[in-house]
Amino acid sequence: MPCLPWYGQIDGILQANLDIMRAFFLYCLFLCPLGLFCQVDFNKGWKMKPGDDPVYAKAACIDQDWAAVSPLQNWEMQGLPQYDGYVWYRLHFYLPRNLLSSSYLKDSVRFLLGPIDDVDACYLNGVKIGQNGHFPDEGKDAYRTAWDVPRRYVLPVNHLALHWDAENVLALRVYDGGGPGGMFDNVERSAGAVDVLDFVKMTVQHRALQKTEKNGFNYATQFENQYQKPIAGSLTVQVFAFKGQKKPLKTLQFPVNIPAKGKQEILAHLESVGRNWVYFEFKEQLSGKTTHQWQETPYVLTPKAGDRPEIHNPAVYGARPGVPFLYKIAASGKAPVSYASKGFPPGVKINAATGVISGTLQQRGMFNITLFATNSAGSDSKTILLVVGDNICLTPPMGWNSWNCWGLQVSDEKVRAAADALLSSGLADYGWNYINIDDGWEAPGRNAQTGAIETNEKFPNMPALSDYLHKKGFKMGIYSSPGPKTCGNFLGSYQHEAQDAQTWADWGVDYLKYDWCSYSGIAPEKPDLEAYKHPYAVMRAALNATNRDIVYSMCQYGMGDVWHWGEEVGGNLWRTTGDITDTWESMSGIGFSQDSLHSFARPGHWNDPDMLVVGHLGWSEQLHPSRLTPSEQYTHISLWAMLSAPLLIGCDLTKIDDFTFNLLANDEVLAIDQDHDGRQAEKKQQGPDYEIWVKALSDGSQAIAIFNRSEQDRDITTDWAALGLANYKTVRDVWQQKDIGKFGKTWHGAVYGHGVRLLRVY
């Protein structure tokens, strides 16, 4: 419906204006003169309307009947389920001139809006003041997402669009190309005066020290000055045992002098003292304003692996007869390790130096295979069940995918580097073995003669790449869409399904992620179940017609309750939600929402809550350390293991640090994910801010995850009987890999804020 003129709903407007005036009055009276909160909060008061009409940009547009929307949650969760396309957001706010009083510079105003998924144009009182990304209607192939760019629009104080000491209207034209839409990160959104501090970017990163240096690690605080004059001030670093503790354990102070348009780095050395919180505060000299950050120290729980070999392959493996077979013995221990095996049916041979077993098995059946690993410190053996039949992917796939780090900038070189790093870091010894290329490998057009899909210049030779990976024991994954275009606007497989499946098989592909994306333009506007299933069934048939075992990863964000029929169309895994990102809201929102799906996970068929967001991520060449705190990262890995989720590392493996390695190389945690029986955990208990999930394991023991969803550390008591575990007594702390005692009836322990205790009871 187009907007009505102003006089349409005068009462509502008067009321809204009164509310705004009241808030402004309080603000002027108390807060701003004190130098506090001299900005307008934009985290509430928004309204939205799906559709697209230029009149929505105008200040005079009546939006009283628009739906209220929180910028802290995507629009799918607020009345627009699975909606992709255009939505307008509007916000009325009062802009007090004394906003400028607290600023040293007093020359411009900034609007902070946080990331917007995917494209936005921002209008103030009808005047366009900025845009991020490109809308599809800007021209052929124009669409470009800018979903992870924090929006910041700046205007000089005398800009005509600014209505000082009056009501203003901010209108956002937003387009979402797929997955969650709109604003949803829990970040600052406000209007405020630009000040000297706005020109300073402060980032804090921990850096593990080399083993040869002192114990502990350095925190590197990097300052970047975008101002044309030097900026000075001081940095205070304080260590606390927990957030909220009054007296710091340690305080360090450093002078800061950042050259004009330059950088400065300050290293603060901290001894390794387990888990603490570190507070970093920069005070800018001219304005006296401060900015701060908290960092939880990256505490390592996983014990270091010994020199003796230990085999970590899951207890079961499925393969089909008559197609190329590839399997690697995954064993930690001091190099060089030599490998052997016993019990394989004819058709395969082992490379004793790499542990790679390859060939073609002809005989169907179940075989007990013994794997051996030997080095100078000793040897290990493990018997696993090899099932040669129709089913593959009997435990959730584990490996690496390019998306969460490189986004569309993935290349052959980066894929090889990831594989090399999986090997050199030792992670491959724990069973991480898929190397999956996500979107961005495709050439713009098909081969003019044959119609075959081709690679772009970043991937000069796909068969050579798969050969490189296979020789090292890795499997190679690829990505496409049933639509004409992928989500990243690259070429999709529409109407070339069988041909593409054969091309990939010829290249040596072992895994396909098939992403709905532009298929929404092919499917009926309101697809019924058959319409959802159709493109996935077509591609599964095409994959089956090739001579390879190809794991089939369905990516359509849970539409049509895919968990009910994903197995029927041959999916080995299916995404259950929109895209994950490295925030607590995103990760915990996805992870904790999986409870109702537990009955759909089983060997060969897995719910997929999306890829891991630990390590250095970026969805582009600009990488940053995961924004999850260390405790949140323990929660992430523990929860995904409890969910029997596919584990696909999404970070730059060449930058792996001790903490991230500790998260990904804990064999007892991984064994919960890779358990032979493939059951997904169930939520058994829930309090106001905690959840207890339980997963039955194949040896009769139970894994229990006690999650603290609040920010504060807290003690949690569990009642074994209430959890249905009355017969279990011995409790093992899985991250620390040690038994922590016998608990007959209850277990009581501390759980860090946003953290977890992962236990196994026998």
Closest approach of ligand GLA to the CB of residue 439, in Å = 3
Does 515 qualify as catalytic in the annotation? Answer: yes
Nearer CB in complex with ligand GLA: 555/651: 555
Q: How far apart are CA 350 and CA 372, in angstroms?
A: 11
135-174 footprint of ligand GLA as x/- string (CB under 6 A):
----------------------------------------
Nearer CB in complex with ligand GLA: 493/662: 493
Binding part of the chain for ligand GLA, among 92-100, 153-161, 481-489, 500-508 by CB under 6 A, reads 481-489
CA-to-CA separations, 138 to 124, 135, 141, 149, 490, in angstroms, rounded:
21, 6, 8, 20, 18
Nearer CB in complex with ligand GLA: 636/754: 636
Q: How far apart are CA 479 and CA 410, in angstroms?
A: 12
Closest approach of ligand GLA to the CB of residue 472, in Å = 24
Helix axis angle for 529-544 and 497-507, nearest 10°, is: 40
Closest approach of ligand GLA to the CB of residue 604, in Å = 22
Residue recorded with tokens 């411009």 = 108
Binding part of the chain for ligand GLA, among 29-37, 218-226, 485-493, 735-743 by CB under 6 A, reads 485-493
- Of 579, 608, 632, 675, the one binding ligand GLA (CB under 6 A) is 579
Binding part of the chain for ligand GLA, among 54-62, 99-107, 322-330, 482-490 by CB under 6 A, reads 482-490
Closest approach of ligand GLA to the CB of residue 401, in Å = 8
Q: Which residue is nearest to ligand GLA (CB)?
A: 487
Closest approach of ligand GLA to the CB of residue 542, in Å = 20
Nearer CB in complex with ligand GLA: 487/512: 487
Nearer CB in complex with ligand GLA: 401/718: 401
Q: How far apart are CA 167 and CA 175, in angstroms?
A: 26
178 near ligand GLA, judged by CB under 6 A: yes
CA-to-CA separations, 394 to 144, 314, 397, 673, 674, in angstroms, rounded:
38, 9, 9, 12, 9
Residue 672: closest CA among 694, 654, 691: 694
Binding part of the chain for ligand GLA, among 168-176, 289-297, 483-491, 699-707 by CB under 6 A, reads 483-491
- Report whether 530 contacts 559 (CB < 8 A): no
Q: Using omega within 30 degrees of 0 as the cis cutoff, is the peptide bond preceding 118 cis? A: yes
487 near ligand GLA, judged by CB under 6 A: yes
The residue count for binding ligand GLA (CB under 6 A) is: 11
- Considering only residues 190 through 249, tell me which ones interact with ligand GLA, judged by CB under 6 A: none
Does 185 qualify as catalytic in the annotation? Answer: no
Residue 651: closest CA among 430, 418, 408: 418
CA-to-CA separations, 347 to 104, 354, 474, 475, 569, in angstroms, rounded:
77, 18, 20, 19, 30
Q: Which of 120, 579, 582, 673 is an active site residue? A: 579
Q: How far apart are CA 629 and CA 624, in angstroms?
A: 13
Nearer CB in complex with ligand GLA: 129/149: 149
Nearer CB in complex with ligand GLA: 179/609: 179
Q: In what side-by-side order are the strands of the sheet with 250-258?
A: 250-258, 231-240, 277-284, 290-296
608 near ligand GLA, judged by CB under 6 A: no
Q: Which of 195, 515, 675, 713 is an active site residue? A: 515
Residue recorded with tokens 């807290």 = 714
- Considering only residues 430 through 469, tell me which ones interact with ligand GLA, judged by CB under 6 A: 438-439
Residue at 745: amino acid letter: K
Q: How far apart are CA 402 and CA 441, in angstroms?
A: 11
Nearer CB in complex with ligand GLA: 405/487: 487
Residue 38: closest CA among 27, 46, 26, 23: 27
Residue 182: closest CA among 39, 1, 46, 3: 46
- Of 180, 333, 482, 488, the one binding ligand GLA (CB under 6 A) is 488
Closest approach of ligand GLA to the CB of residue 300, in Å = 29
- Report whether 760 contacts 732 (CB < 8 A): yes
The pairing of strands 365-375 and 338-342 is antiparallel
- Of 179, 333, 591, 678, the one binding ligand GLA (CB under 6 A) is 179
Residue 104: closest CA among 227, 202, 188, 236: 227
Q: Which helix (H) or strand (E) holds 392?
A: none
Nearer CB in complex with ligand GLA: 361/543: 543
390-429 footprint of ligand GLA as x/- string (CB under 6 A):
-------------x--------------------------
555 near ligand GLA, judged by CB under 6 A: yes
Catalytic residues: 515, 579
The footprint of ligand GLA (CB under 6 A) covers: 178-179, 403, 438-439, 486-488, 515, 555, 579
